[in-house]
Amino acid sequence: MELRLTEIFHSLQGESRTVGRPTVFVRLTGCPQRCVWCDTEYAFSGGEKWSLAAILEEVAALGAQYVTVTGGEPLAQPSCLPLLKTLCDEGYQVSLETGGAMDIAGVDERVSVVMDLKAPGSGEQHNNRLSNIALLKAHHQVKFVLADRKDYDWARFMLDQYQLHQRVSDVLFSPVQGTLAPGDLANWIVEDRLPVRFQLQLHKLLWNDARGR
Ligand code: SF4
């Protein structure tokens, strides 16, 4: 079994409820979506083929207990599912970052899924796979990346419509860096008393989004 990888590295978790924890990132190559504000376009193509055994060896050598499988869109490669299962079997705490367009039904139950719902400003709203919402579990998370007030109002509607905060441990609201002022988003959440977690991407604050950090 082989997967196409853009990079494997050790850093601090930059977002989600485990933000700040030392984590190994396995970044799979390829994504069928094209969010206008995507910050990992370098993962759209290229990469190298790795065997599952080689990935496990590298993850072990990097030495963290938390592993995040990300992309690109990891679920675009069918072998992502056995990778996730094997990482769980090896005793790692595993999370999966997925863009919300692909079916999460086959993901190992032990994995903490962090699923995006793409707001209108991403240009990818039409690809949200809404049937995934019924598959969300209490240890999963839903992430909205928001470019403007219109995106915020849409996310607030989705939160209410699907009672997302009742389904998952955390609903995450993030501003698009350089597009929506973080203070504006924070103020809207406070004013509306939304049951969500505001977040900034730690790796951008610490390392200005350098690759491999
Ligand atoms: S789904 Fe993720 S990797 Fe794909 S274009 Fe959107 S932000 Fe980029």
Q: What's the pLDDT score for residue 35? A: 98
Distances (CA, A) of 204 to 110, 125, 161, 210, 211: 28, 25, 32, 8, 10
Ligand 1 atom showing the smallest separation from residue 100 Cα: 1
Q: Parallel, antiparallel, or unpaired: how do β-strands 22-28 and 112-116 relate? A: unpaired
DSSP character at residue 7: E
pLDDT digits (tens, 9 = 90+) for 28-74: 999 999 999 999 999 999 999 999 999 999 999 999 899 999 999 99
Backbone angles phi, psi at 47, to 5 degrees: 75, 180
Q: Write the CATH number of the domain with boundaries 2-207.
A: 3.20.20.70
User: Rounded to an integer, what distance in angstroms lies between the CA atom of residue 68 and that of residue 62?
Assistant: 13
184 has a pLDDT exceeding 80: yes
Share of the chain above pLDDT 70, in %: 100
- Is 80 marked as binding a ligand? no
74 lines ligand 1 (CB under 6 A): no
User: Rounded to an integer, what distance in angstroms lies between the CA atom of residue 26 and that of residue 114?
Assistant: 15
Backbone angles phi, psi at 57, to 5 degrees: -65, -45
Ligand 1 centroid vs 146 CA: distance in angstroms? 14
